Amino acid sequence: MRDAYTDQLDAIFDDLAGISRRVQVAVGEATEALMTGDSSIAERVISNDAEIDRAREQVEDSAFALLSLQQPVAGDLRTIVAALRMVAELERMGDLSVHVAKIARLRVPDVAVPDEVRPTFERMAAVAEDMVARVTEVIAGRDVEAAIALGRDDEEMDQLRRRSFTELLSGEWAHGVEAAVDLALLGRYYERIADHAVSVANRVIFVVTGHNPAPAA
């Protein structure tokens, strides 16, 4: 009986890792749509978000079933509660990818990112996608060391966000207010994807160790 219960807990984490893989695809495709102005890719990201929503509902159903039928305590309860919070964060990361895709679609046939700021936003997108890939591994392996490293590496995203503001506020900016608003939003979306990845990683640390990591200064 205990083995079956443990298998159900493990299955929830397997499902979380699966959602994280879907989010990684969404981030990558949303970025591709953004940098190429490809509306078909943007539409795919937007329509595929429903799959992430359904997967979130499945995790929630499984978690609530365990809560009601098994009445877990201690570490098992910690795992289930953390899973419910993690799946909400992962879903939000998918939503943020949709926001990126919608900006890409809105500016078609043009590309929303002007050439002079493209390197900053390409790097921002790459960091976000890498952090999602790494958080997938953290979830799948419940890897505390990798989770701690992910939290430390979020600093690069913060630096890129600051650089993007410097570029947008430059006296040499020649693309108008609308483009500046688009880019300010895009920077925020990528930054929040990274923030959610760190938050999910921290919840894995909590599941494994029973301790919440200290927030970054």
pLDDT tens-digit series, residues 170-186 = 878 888 999 999 999 99
pLDDT value at position 125?
96
Identify the DSSP state of 214: P
The answer to whether residue 4 scores a pLDDT higher than 80 is no
Residue 9 lies in a domain: yes
pLDDT value at position 49?
97
pLDDT in tens, 61-118: 999 998 887 777 777 888 999 999 999 999 999 999 999 999 999 999 999 999 999 9
Q: Which phi and psi angles does 107 have, rounded to 5°? A: -95, -5
pLDDT value at position 12?
94
To which residue do tokens 């879907």 refer? 22
Residue 216 lies in a domain: no
Give me the domain span that covers residue 194: 2-209
Residue 214 lies in a domain: no
Residue 215 lies in a domain: no
Residue 217 lies in a domain: no
24 pLDDT tier (thresholds 50, 70, 90):
very high
Q: Measured in Å, how far apart are the chain's first and last C-alpha atoms?
A: 44
Residue 70 lies in a domain: yes
pLDDT in tens, 133-175: 999 999 999 999 999 999 877 889 999 999 998 988 887 888 8
The answer to whether residue 38 scores a pLDDT higher than 90 is yes
Distance (Å, rounded) from C-alpha 132 to C-alpha 85? 16
Q: What is the CATH number of the domain that holds 66?
A: 1.20.58.220
- The burial of 90, by beta-carbon neighbours within 10 Å (0-12 exposed, 13-18 middle, 19 or more buried), is given as buried
What is the total count of domains within the chain? 1
To which residue do tokens 């079933």 refer? 65
